[in-house]
Amino acid sequence: MSSAKFASLLKSAKLRKNDRIWFARWVDAYRESCGVGPNDRIPVERDAVIAMLRQQKSKGRKAWQRLQMVRAVEYYRNAILRTGEPDLHDIRELLARAAGQ
């Protein structure tokens, strides 16, 4: 599913308003970091998620922002790819602790 279609799907999702806005942005950033075109299906791979998070950390993104990135990618994985794999729970937990949540 394209980034634009995902953003459109988020408009009707039962998420907080800011999550609907930022999940689209974070998934698009993830897509770009994977080198996937804007109209292509975005593969969710654990190593690619970690690479994006490291890249974002080097740009000064705080732990709570990187946590939101993981949540956005998980939402895409669950809603669009309809799978629970790869499991990103440990990454989310580590960032939640770092963010003080």
Mean pLDDT of the chain: 89
pLDDT at 11 over 90: no
Neighbours of 35 (CB within 10 A): 8
Report the candidate in 39, 47, 101, 37 with the shortest Cα–Cα distance to residue 73: 47
Predicted TM-score (pTM) of this structure = 0.87
CA distance 96 to 8: 28
Confidence of residue 1 (pLDDT cuts 50, 70, 90): low
- Residue with tokens 């459109």, as numbered in its chain: 8
pLDDT digits (tens, 9 = 90+) for 15-67: 888 888 888 889 999 999 999 998 888 999 999 999 999 999 999 999 999 99
Whether 5 shows a pLDDT value over 80: the answer reads no
Q: How buried is 83 (Cβ within 10 angstroms: 0-12 exposed, 13-18 middle, 19+ buried)?
A: exposed
